[in-house]
Structure 1
């Protein structure tokens, strides 16, 4: 929601707590609270046991709007800080650094309350078992909510008077959570039917689809890339049927409406986190790296399928934003930009969206230029305001602005098509595009002078993986070598800063230091399942875009390490975290594809790709076992696992190997590769057989040695189960072969 409300406790003495030694931007934001915060770790756990105190656990992230609100209202309040310090051991966790801790306690909060979210507030016994939890609490009691101060005093009193009862309840809750969290096979289960799962997933998406504005809910609306990828794959398998046409229409319409909406930043590019309304108009203004990476790939795919340059332009727009605003000079990508910022340099309080919104008066002042050739006396501002829905008194409904932060302001949204705006002012299309581009450029220059939102310069392996995939896939599809090069730089960054060569393990995070160097955590955080899965996916995507086999080699190495660290040999599928951390009460398996796909969903396709590149059949078996472990959920409510439903189809259809025999620098090879990248074929892998018999692919796939160039030309084969089609040497023949 575009909401706010600020406390007035930021003045007074400056405190410093243990978080000052941390690297996380979120933890550092709280390093001067009058709360005796501890990071997650043994020092805090031992203090709680020694003093027999409850633990208050607060989990959030640095660009979380309501985390800022609760800090201003409660954690900067000296009286509340005193209550916390006297009665609890207080622990702060950055959910992006420690998704394992966040997931355990969010599972508890969601199971025992009406929902979840951040900030997450949980009270634990000294042995880390939760017994009370919630999200944001206002500082004082209100008409409908108990205040944070009251909650703290009540819980402290209960611990003093009914300690044994609380301990017993926490044991019962933990037992229930263990049962609820169990995902695995019960006997000799098989992967579910592809037809049944995809058919039901498609129907469930149809039922929730918004015919007018696209998307799959009324509000809030998130850019759910997993749904769109599923619909593209469904269309690919059913393109001659009405259902296939419907799937494509739903995906493309949703992508167009998102790009027209205020969730899309029309001035400084990129996409905000979600829309608070049905029309994609008023966003929650933070920008997340994981959205940019996935959406760049989805929009590129939409161009690949439709040929509509509109989608290619949106892809370029996203990647421009990331290259300019979320890229570290080392090659890595930053995590997020905040929603809140100061309206002016003199402002004492931040407001959500202040960096992004405009008054009509401002736009008239900035765009006064008269337009030549228009009968009525119209200015650049008139055209711009008409096209982007700007109103004199602001275009944000009060229903979406309960704290009046956006009163009188405009969130830009494409209100009319270029054709309609051109007709309204008697302009040619080319002239209109030039005028709008000139206007956007001028507004961008002005916006750059405003106080910027906070930038979370934490660099996460998983999210960098998603962004590498975005650059690599977009570069391959759009034929932009500079995008592939940026993906290569980022992959080299991962190898240099987030990979331990001695152990073969990934690290979770690193940070931009004060001198702009890259720094590691105070205590390095080991990579989680999602770090391995998204990085492996990125390396496969990067290989297909660059055809450098070193990326394949690293991907396969990481896949072996993932199997070693996370695989559940009894119940199948992968745990989200490694074994051996005594502070974690549960080892969980994510069972939902959300704004990020779940790691188990993506790893099914990774395993199938790895098997295609190595001939290692054990990985195909593992992929089937994951699908079997999630079969009940896939058969009943596949709409919560659309990425896994898509992977289930790939498992049953068997991936095809497109083998190009040729010189990577040769024009004839490039023509064949351009054909491959121009056709949407979801269940395939691409490989280049360059004749190097000592190379990675030849060592793992002996059948490649039997494939030769025909008449000395670059030659393509379509192979399945080590049997290959007749060779083709022209791009036209290959494109025909790839069409289903």
Structure 2
């Protein structure tokens, strides 16, 4: 325990100095006497009769940096905060349980949310004020942080009863909002309703959904691919292709170093917020992989592989896990690392190369965008395309291949030049849930592209998580500096199970199936709501934050319950276990009422409903994995877009696969040849050694 004298913010550090989170460490030398979330802070607040000033953010958040520089590094503001409050700092990525609860509070109280998240609450964690970013001084009708602190101080002293009543009211509303009335099973017609809503909100000019800021929302696109597969509706796949093409052409894509930025502030995908998140790379690459399988467009494969090239170069730890994020800001300026003046491009390239790059990527002498968060007309340019490479080549009167070769030569020169700049800060903590998503993406790539380097990377990450982030059989959320800490939440378990199931299908190593089943057993034991069904976000033996929450909303990431129902359905089909099937139905009923009310924000959950409604397939190949006929049959299935399937390999030399499901014991190769056993819609077809017949049975 560090003494209170040692934790003196006036001496340059506070109670965050021994934390592992890069975000908390960023604030360890603030004059604000920050505490990490924990009993010490709450006991101090109770003893000193002070409210809690809770500030939640993350290391790559631009406005978190702005508020820190303006206020938390300012001695005058810090003195006010320390006098009136017990200040607590939380990394939302380390403690998503805390963040989720108080983000819900902010949205209830203000109608909006975001980071930095500012909550003022009683010592028993009940909030009575919420907001996001506050400037230091009041301006333009907006309350500044200094005035806010003084107002709260007065209210806390003079109107304590009103404050406590307000906290109780917010708590009651939060409980009501968090309740999940059960309903019946979800009908197939909801898939049509969801497609209709997506088609009405789709931006047919630029792709994506909505007409202001643009987020990739990969689960919407994956839903549309499945809807197209189900119905043959060409507009569904058009919406996917239009969005993926526009995203790639826009400034949201890093055309030099690859990978996607978080989102764009404009409808045309041009001006991004420049942070790069691991989960975005994982989820977006999944869509490009599935679009490649569905359409055969090699461009989508190339983009997915570029994303992985970025991830391997910038986000992969030596131990095999993947880091969390890279910052939007460099040297206090958002996007500085990624922006170019025309002069910088001419200094880095030969004149002919520079002219071509400026033409292709819309580089202007005065800059090609204005954004008050980055700076007005500094001559800065975002590299983006107005047309596809094929159209640009046609306009230049050269072949696409020739243009691609020219661009690649210049790209490498610009990339090497950019590498000499000050790099954005990397958040190098390793999170189990986000790694589960990246394992899933890599395993999908290994199957679709028939490339073992992706399955190797997925195995390295999975083995790292299972070896280093599991203690006494339990999964932990965060790893940094050789320490696994913070008990795993719902997303950690469901995302890792998803990754392990995809990894099994990529390498057919039964140990990953067994690990998935073990994690699922822990999930049911510690997260399942025995009364109403569904999974809580935190385990029954974890810290109680304010209330137990169950969520299905698919936001930037799919919800743990959305992934959880998919896992339950797949594991039930794999193991032939009716108990898992029953739980998947209970989970569906637990949330069906709210999903019917707003299907558009539950598209990943509805992918599971699409799987359940069918047609879906249980595919078992019996054969030697090293034999040519087995390899041919496996790859012929993998090369097609068949999302609603479970896929097993029975190798006669690996008997433990038969422990997974009883019927596997009785599946044998026909005349020593690779043989496919396919079941669908509750009936099993005749086994076949003919690849063409197998694909016909799978609707290809």
- For normalisation by structure 2, the TM-score amounts to 0.97
Out of 105-114 and 643-652, give the one that drifted further.
643-652
The superposition leaves residues 397-443 of structure 1 with CA deviations (integer Å, 9 ceiling, x where unpaired) of x3x33552663111111123334433443433222111100011000
Tell me the equivalent position of 1:425: 396
1:491-506 counterparts in 2 under 5 A? 491-500=462-471, 502=472, 504-506=473-475
2-side partners of 1:268 and 1:694: how far apart?
A: 45
* 8 Å Cα contact 2:247-2:269 kept in structure 1: yes
2-side partners of 1:655 and 1:558: how far apart?
A: 24
Tell me the equivalent position of 1:734: 694
- Are 1:191 and 2:180 counterparts? no
Out of 635-644 and 277-286, give the one that drifted further.
635-644
Out of 400-409 and 286-295, give the one that drifted further.
400-409
SS class of match (1:508): strand
* 8 Å Cα contact 1:190-1:624 kept in structure 2: no
Which of 116, 120, 124 aligns to 2:121? It is: 124
Out of 532-541 and 665-674, give the one that drifted further.
665-674
- Are 1:144 and 2:103 counterparts? no
* 8 Å Cα contact 2:339-2:380 kept in structure 1: yes
Change in Cα spacing, 1:165 to 1:401, as seen in structure 2 (3 Å) is: closer
Tell me the equivalent position of 1:463: 434
- Are 1:388 and 2:348 counterparts? no
- For normalisation by structure 1, the TM-score amounts to 0.91
Change in Cα spacing, 1:594 to 1:79, as seen in structure 2 (3 Å) is: same
2-side partners of 1:556 and 1:655: how far apart?
A: 21
Change in Cα spacing, 1:327 to 1:596, as seen in structure 2 (3 Å) is: same
Tell me the equivalent position of 1:258: 247
Which of 74, 91, 94 aligns to 1:94? It is: 91
2-side partners of 1:738 and 1:161: how far apart?
A: 71
- Are 1:113 and 2:110 counterparts? yes
* 8 Å Cα contact 1:184-1:573 kept in structure 2: no
Tell me the equivalent position of 2:597: 636
Out of 246-255 and 530-539, give the one that drifted further.
246-255
* 8 Å Cα contact 1:716-1:727 kept in structure 2: yes
Q: CA deviation at 1:266?
A: 0.2
1-side partners of 2:39 and 2:135: how far apart?
A: 30
Tell me the equivalent position of 1:305: 294
2-side partners of 1:67 and 1:184: how far apart?
A: 36
Which of 323, 345, 366 aligns to 1:363? It is: 345
- Are 1:353 and 2:350 counterparts? no
Question: Aligned Cα RMSD in Å?
Answer: 1.5
Tell me the equivalent position of 2:3: none
Q: CA deviation at 1:127?
A: 1.1
1-side partners of 2:550 and 2:686: how far apart?
A: 44
1-side partners of 2:83 and 2:554: how far apart?
A: 41
Tell me the equivalent position of 2:205: 212
1-side partners of 2:455 and 2:207: how far apart?
A: 31
SS class of match (1:434): helix
Tell me the equivalent position of 2:195: 202
The superposition leaves residues 257-311 of structure 1 with CA deviations (integer Å, 9 ceiling, x where unpaired) of 1011110100000000001101100000000000001111110111111111100
2-side partners of 1:331 and 1:83: how far apart?
A: 45
1-side partners of 2:618 and 2:173: how far apart?
A: 46
SS class of match (1:49): helix
Q: CA deviation at 1:328?
A: 0.2
Q: CA deviation at 1:602?
A: 0.9
Tell me the equivalent position of 1:334: 323
2-side partners of 1:176 and 1:596: how far apart?
A: 25
Change in Cα spacing, 1:87 to 1:13, as seen in structure 2 (3 Å) is: closer
Tell me the equivalent position of 2:664: 704
- Are 1:490 and 2:461 counterparts? yes
The superposition leaves residues 497-552 of structure 1 with CA deviations (integer Å, 9 ceiling, x where unpaired) of 1112x2x21000011x3xxxx333xxx21000000000000000000001000000
* 8 Å Cα contact 1:612-1:655 kept in structure 2: no
Which of 68, 77, 82 aligns to 1:80? It is: 77
Tell me the equivalent position of 2:61: 64
* 8 Å Cα contact 2:487-2:542 kept in structure 1: no
**Could you list the runs of 4 or more consecutive aligned residues of structure 1 that deviate by over 6 angstroms after TM superposition?**
none
* 8 Å Cα contact 1:679-1:735 kept in structure 2: no
Structure with greater contact order relative to length (CA < 8 Å, sep ≥ 6): 1
Which of 231, 235, 239 aligns to 1:246? It is: 235
* 8 Å Cα contact 1:623-1:651 kept in structure 2: no
- Are 1:225 and 2:186 counterparts? no
- Are 1:720 and 2:680 counterparts? yes
Change in Cα spacing, 1:249 to 1:163, as seen in structure 2 (3 Å) is: same
* 8 Å Cα contact 2:565-2:584 kept in structure 1: yes
* 8 Å Cα contact 1:326-1:334 kept in structure 2: yes
Tell me the equivalent position of 1:444: 415
2-side partners of 1:82 and 1:313: how far apart?
A: 54
Change in Cα spacing, 1:549 to 1:406, as seen in structure 2 (3 Å) is: farther
The superposition leaves residues 145-178 of structure 1 with CA deviations (integer Å, 9 ceiling, x where unpaired) of 1100000110011101111221122112211211
2-side partners of 1:17 and 1:155: how far apart?
A: 23
* 8 Å Cα contact 1:693-1:705 kept in structure 2: no
2-side partners of 1:527 and 1:123: how far apart?
A: 27
1-side partners of 2:41 and 2:615: how far apart?
A: 50
* 8 Å Cα contact 1:590-1:600 kept in structure 2: yes
